[in-house]
């Protein structure tokens, strides 16, 4: 008897996954180009990035593909996104260090900027790093358990 996740997707399941991926992209674009609400625009902007990442799953939306492989690829894409996000934060910090004028300690805004902890001490950065490590651990555990 096969374990759950070891059996392949049915034709209907693969079609549902494909429609969800394409529908998410279309919905995100509708939210971006609607002229009524700025909050909906912000939600659409986030969904466009998410839809772009989820589009990596389209080749797996075929009958017979194991659900476990779809989950593994989803985790790999999420882990790569976290790593790229960390590299982007570090690059933005280095750009500021090398190309921008340092804050003036004689002004209020300069005092605030100098009092801010460095980027690597921010909880968001550590949270993203923790998610990337957790995803890497989960992928390794799934690979070990799967054979």
| Distance of alpha carbon 45 from alpha carbon 22, whole angstroms | 16
**100-110 pLDDT, tens per residue?**
888 899 999 99
Query: Whole-prediction pTM value?
Result: 0.77
pLDDT in tens, 120-136: 888 999 999 999 999 99
Which tens digits make up the pLDDT trace of 26-40?
999 999 999 999 999
φ/ψ of residue 26, rounded to 5: -65, -45
* pLDDT category of residue 2 using cuts at 50, 70 and 90: low
Q: What is the pLDDT of residues 24-79, one digit of tens each?
A: 999 999 999 999 999 999 999 999 999 999 999 999 999 999 989 999 999 999 99
34: left (phi over 0), alpha (psi -120 to 50) or beta: beta
Phi then psi dihedrals of residue 61, to 5 deg = -80, 65
Nearest to 84 by CA among 53, 43, 59, 123: 53
């Amino acid at each position: 008897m096969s374990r759950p996740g070891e059996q392949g997707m049915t034709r209907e399941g693969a079609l549902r996954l494909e429609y969800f991926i394409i529908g998410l992209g279309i919905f995100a674009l509708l939210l971006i180009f609607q002229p009524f609400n700025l909050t909906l625009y912000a939600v659409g902007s986030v969904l466009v990035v998410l839809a772009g990442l989820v589009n990596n799953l389209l080749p797996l939306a075929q009958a017979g593909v194991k659900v476990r492989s779809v989950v593994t690829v989803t985790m790999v894409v999420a882990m790569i996104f976290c790593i790229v996000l960390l590299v982007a934060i570090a690059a933005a910090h280095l750009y500021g260090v090398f190309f921008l004028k340092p804050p003036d300690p004689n002004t209020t805004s300069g005092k605030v900027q100098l009092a801010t902890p460095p980027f690597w001490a921010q909880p968001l950065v550590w949270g993203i790093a923790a998610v990337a490590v957790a995803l890497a651990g989960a992928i390794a555990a799934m690979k070990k358990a799967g054979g």
